[in-house]
Chains A and B, each alone.
Chain A
Amino acid sequence: MDILPHLASEEKKVQETLNEMLQQAAIDIQNCNTANDILNAKAKYLGKKSLLNSLYSRLRELQPEDRPAFGAQINEARQKIEAALSIREKDIKTAAWQNSATIQRDATLPGYANERGSLHPIKIIQREIERIFMSMGFEIAEGFDIEDEFHNFDALNTPADHPSRNLADTFYVEGGRLLRTQTSTVQIRVMEAYPPPIKIISPGRCYRNDKPDPSHSPVFHQVEALVVDKGISMSDLVDTLQIFATIMFGKDVKTRIRPHFFPFTEPSAEMDISCVVCAGQGCRMCKHSGWLEMGGAGMVDPNVFKMLGIDPELYSGFAFGLGIDRIALLRYGIPDMRILFENDIRMLRQFRGDSL
């Protein structure tokens, strides 16, 4: 069908034809629903056999001066179609990924995650203690669980007839050795092997012949701290304790030391922190004293230094021991020490968040 018999003379008619074509194109493009529909529409309106294309090829029939005006009309129509196609194409694409991304299932069903386990609460606390002391420049030293009497008692200035050496208090193994009753043994091992300055902590297992009950266990965990250098004073001890307690229990916690006796420290002290349960007001946890016992401490006894060949006139040092399990009980509100060694998975599961 030749719709354009006389291009030049029927300019108006051409314009009408173009408008009709544009209207039809708009409808067709709007009806496109797939990428393929778009291709077909493109071929129909812009392709070789399209009206626009035939108009182009007939421009030649016009007088040169008339061509620009006609050309412009055709171009405008072409641009309109191209724009409509590209908008529709984008809509189809958007609808496609929108559709594929829509959750087809019940979106309230539970998600999937890899299973995670947990560290044991004692390990969580031990790691935290290690981190705190390492940030203060302490190194971690290792010791032995099975010790000799020298390192567990003699070198720690414990008299030969001291009751703590009894079978009722200390486990002995065949061959005259014993299970260390405290991590203080590592103090001796480290000072034997390294000259001062020394700044270590030593976490580890200790053993005492106690029957298991809510606050006792024959196997328990301690962390020992030892600092030896020129000019170390009790002031370093109280500072270190306060820094540790502040990071471990929060900035409101108070610390104190009070006189006590240990064979290997002189002066000796017990360390307390203000009760973290009642903030020092007095409660069952702190036996209404407002304070919780943290462990023993003191300035290294000159006898201990002498036995290890360190000049007590030149060097001084402090040491203290903290109960890791005790801190774990306190921190997590676990009422009985035996729970820690039962390894009930329902207990362990509660600490997954702290093992992340």
Chain B
Amino acid sequence: MKIAVSWLKQYIDLPGTISELCDALTFSGIEVEGVKSLAALPDTVITAYVQEASPLPDSDHLKLCKIDIGTHKLADPSILDSSGMLQVVCGASNCASGMKVILALPGTDLGEIKIKSAKIRGTKSHGMLCSESELGISEDHSGIISLPEDTPVGISPNAILGLPDTILELEITPNRSDLLGYYGIATDLSASLNEPIKPIHIEDIGLPKSSLGLSVRIDDYQSCPRYTAQVFEGIKVEQSPLWLRLALGKSGIRSINNIVDITNYVLLATGQPLHAFDYDLLQKSDPADQAPFIIVRKARNEEIILALDGIQYNLDCNDLVIADGQRATAIAGVMGGEETGVSTQTKSIVLETAAFNPSAIRRTSYKHKVSSDSSYRFERHLSPWALDKAQSLARNLICELGSPEAISEVIDIHTTHQDRRILGIRPCRFKRLIGFELSDDEIRAYLGKLGLEFISFGDYQADVSDIAQIHCHHAEEARAGKTEFTEAPDCIHSHFYWIPFQRVDLEREVDLIEELARLAGYDKVPHKLPVPKIMDRHGYSIRTNLEDYMVSSGYYEVYNYSFEDPTRIKALGFREDDQIVNLINLINPQSANQSSMRSTLLPSLLGNLSYNLNHGERDLKLFEMAKVYLRTGQAIDERMILCGVSTGTASPEHWLHKTKALDYFHIKGLVEQILDLIGLTMLSKKPIDKPYLVSSTGYSYRSDNKEIASFGMMRPDMLESYEIDTITLKQDVWTFEFDVQAISELTKETSTGYTNISKYPSVVRDLSLLLRNEHSYETLRQAILEVDPLIIEQLRVFDEYRSDKLPDGYRSISLHLFLRDTQKTLTEERIERLVDSVLKNLETKLEVIMR
């Protein structure tokens, strides 16, 4: 919903800035979806008088105007003609002599339009007479703005146009029909900003009583609980005054004529839709009838109505219509009919102010795919008993702007009148539900500002029975024997309030609690639960992820004692001064082979391997996630380590897929995939050099020269003491290790982020190359990638072989080159060029030969 701040200010003082207003709206539950500033017009836009407007020769619509700019001082007075008038050519159809207008002088910058002196059809024109749309006030470009006759000439029109102004786009939640008008929003703001609301002023009108009769009947009270009608006789239908047109324009509604504009104005002001019929076009049901009829009834099947939007609707018996004696004259609550609409010929009108059942309106609006400002509001439920203010306001405006000769009484047909609802609220219940306290006074003040009328304090139970004869939700619950109250016998102190009719959403105590919480501010809700502060969640997930990865790779987790035989650790062959052999010994071990805290998990795991090999198992993959205990000076470092050992086949034996023995590339793939997935791709790699591993059968992955991970093949002689005979077994034993603690520290700051997927296809090119034996694949890879790392997405080796038939000192490597540009499709030419430069680079750098 679009609202102009200038209009809002008629009902409430808004001392703060626009951004404070937006905050107040947002935090009280009215979301501001957009803010549009209407800036003040520059000094070169002034009020002016059209002295003379005559048709421009050679043109069928342009007019040549002599414009009086009063005492305004022009920057360039030479553009005035000899009589002191300014010559302006204007194309607006409503431009006429004697009009007060708004003139943009040459040099004015209106954003999209820049005004200059120009020649139009050979005639000089010094400025532009402006429409609302040209000034950015509204969408209306049907004609130039006509100012009131008493407007002084040569002054800034800002004050007259209500500029500067701000237009807010508000989202009203569907439960709050009371906020679908300026006055409702002002009321809500008055509570959240603690500013008094200025009442809408309504006077009694002393006009003669009209002799025009009208019969009104409601056939379906379910769909239309109340219908009021008032006849205005002898009115003038004409253009609305400027203030009215501007008010509608800023809220996005087009001006039609004074009567239609008044109904729209009252709709915007109060949220209550109204409709005006041309009285003389309403038919009697029988020529003998005294007066025309208005009947609220269900449409007849296949009844047809031409609505004001120019569309013909085929109605059926589920649609509610307003009919005269003969035919449907309006789709009730949705849109008036074209045939009985108010036009400049209209002499007398019937003003309809009614209430319709929300689901009836929603059904019709949905079925016929027609929605209007009126149906939008009725669908959200307007109380039948809240429409009187809108009716009176419209009556006053019609009397003021339509000059009726006489008016009728208000004909008011309705179902049984309902009294206002009474609701009670217990302050202690508020505290219990929301978490902070409001005093009795604060509660009264907030609810009072919303228009809830305080009745009395009392005890929850006692008072509901006292006022049980009125419509009180609690009373009904109490009578129904619900035990809600007995749970809180200490919580009976209550306030009781009359609920205003327009607040159809306030039905229960909890609704009042919500209102109070909203107005006091959700930011006041206290925090109670502690914020997690102790757990190392990152470390925890690294650890469990690694465990799960190992399990999914076929590894079994083992649990060993933290004790170790010091001779087994020393046998690994570390230097005397290595941290690993500087063991922490137990003073009272149970046995000598459990006398040290283990500084490495490897001996335990080799023990497990040996145990299982001795039990006839050949293919083993084991890992342990446990602490090692290291001495660092006087301190003790307990580090979480993941260590694995494996031997035998890489995958279980299967009749279809031939299995292979675990080898260097299996273990390398496992270790590097973990590092890669965890985000540790920048580690430096050194060939493995550990006393118990066969040299260069693995790598050490390091960061800041500290080992993070490693792998390699166990030296067969190291396994003898574990009674593992790899020679007889004909299988190697592999081991790998991750410093889980170091990994978790290194990855603390990294997080997975999404990269947009290129919508351009990738292209694959195969390269078969001869690479010198002394050059590694890694150097080849680098030399390829460096050519264009943005386009070369991936390399994949699919073959490597050596043969006598190849040139001496060379081996063959074949790989797929995956190319992709994230910006556009790669052209054949570009691919060609890229592959050429890759080959050139390989040739010069590595003496690679293309096969």
Contact = CB atoms under 8 A, between A and B. Distances in A.
Nearest to B540: A140
A172 B586 contact: yes
A117 B534 contact: no
B612 A344 contact: yes
A109 interface: yes
Interface stretch (B234-242, B293-301, B546-554): B546-554
A114 B554 contact: yes
A349 B559 contact: no
Nearest to B530: A197
A157 interface: no
Interface stretch (B63-71, B617-625, B699-707): B617-625
B652 A342 contact: no
B187 interface: no
Nearest to A212: B590
Contact of B534 (A123, A177, A198): A198
B533 to A, nearest CB: 6
Contacts of B536: 142
B615 A344 contact: yes
A173 B611 contact: no
Contacts of A123: 547, 557, 559, 625
Nearest to B533: A194
Nearest to A199: B530
B533 A145 contact: no
Contacts of B615: 344-346
B588 A343 contact: no
Contacts of B625: 123
Nearest to A115: B554
A162 interface: no
A120 B654 contact: no
Given A112-B654, A177-B636, A343-B608, A209 B588 contact: yes
Contacts, number: 140
B588 A171 contact: yes
A122 B558 CA distance: 9
Contacts of B638: 144-146
Given A114-B554, A343-B608, A174 B584 contact: yes
A197 B560 CA distance: 36
A355 interface: yes
A345 B629 contact: no
A140 B597 CA distance: 25
B559 A120 contact: yes
A345 B534 contact: no
A310 interface: no
A116 B557 contact: no
Contacts of A172: 586-588
A320 B69 CA distance: 92
B612 A140 contact: no
A348 B558 contact: yes
Interface in B230-266: none
B616 to A, nearest CB: 10
A109 B654 CA distance: 10
A145 B562 CA distance: 10
A123 to B, nearest CB: 6
Contacts of B117: none
Nearest to B640: A142
Contacts of B652: 115
Contacts of B556: 117-118, 120, 345, 348-349
Contact of A174 (B552, B558, B587, B608): B587
Contact of A345 (B540, B612, B655): B612
A200 interface: yes
Residue from A116, A172, A345 having most chain B Cβ neighbours under 10 A? A345
Nearest to A166: B588
A190 B534 contact: yes
A199 B533 CA distance: 10
B310 interface: no
Contact of B563 (A118, A177, A219): A219
B587 A219 contact: no
A145 B629 contact: yes
Interface string A119-131: 1101100010000
A146 B608 CA distance: 25
Residue from B532, B534, B551, B656 having most chain A Cβ neighbours under 10 A? B534
A198 B590 CA distance: 37
A165 to B, nearest CB: 12
A109 B544 CA distance: 36
Nearest to B584: A173
B629 A139 contact: no
A146 B586 contact: no
A353 to B, nearest CB: 12
B651 interface: yes
A235 to B, nearest CB: 19
Residue from A211, A218, A342, A343 having most chain B Cβ neighbours under 10 A? A343
Interface in A201-218: 205, 207, 209, 211, 218
Contacts of B585: 173-174
B757 interface: no
Interface in B663-706: none
B597 A343 contact: no
A278 interface: no
Interface in A160-183: 167-168, 171-175, 177, 179
Interface in B641-662: 651-652, 654-657
B590 A218 contact: yes
A141 interface: yes
A348 B544 CA distance: 18
B660 to A, nearest CB: 13
B488 interface: no
A279 interface: no
B560 A343 contact: yes
A64 interface: no
Contacts of A117: 550-557, 621, 623
Nearest to B625: A123
B588 A344 contact: no
Contacts of A333: none
A341 B586 contact: no
B535 interface: yes
B561 A219 contact: yes
B590 A118 contact: no
A190 B532 CA distance: 13
Interface in A300-356: 340-346, 348-349, 355
A139 B586 contact: no
A120 B558 contact: yes
A149 to B, nearest CB: 13
Contacts of B563: 218-219
A198 B544 CA distance: 24
B627 interface: yes
A120 B544 contact: no
A146 B554 contact: no
Given A114-B554, A117-B551, A117-B554, A200 B584 contact: no
B557 A173 contact: no
B552 A343 contact: no
Nearest to A348: B556
A194 B534 contact: yes
Contacts of A342: 611
A246 B665 CA distance: 47
B535 A140 contact: yes
A110 interface: yes
Contacts of A119: 547, 551, 557
Nearest to A198: B534
Given A109-B656, A141-B534, 11 more contacts: A117-B553, A117-B623, A139-B535, A177-B636, A179-B586, A194-B533, A197-B530, A218-B563, A341-B560, A345-B617, A346-B615
9 contacts: A114-B554, A139-B535, A172-B587, A173-B597, A190-B534, A344-B612, A344-B615, A345-B622, A348-B557
Interface of B: 529-530, 532-536, 540, 544, 547, 550-563, 584-590, 594, 597, 608, 611-612, 615, 617, 620-623, 625, 627, 629, 634, 636, 638, 651-652, 654-657
Sorted nearest first, the 8 A-B pairs with minimum C-beta distance are A115-B554, A139-B535, A343-B558, A120-B557, A117-B555, A197-B530, A172-B587, A348-B556
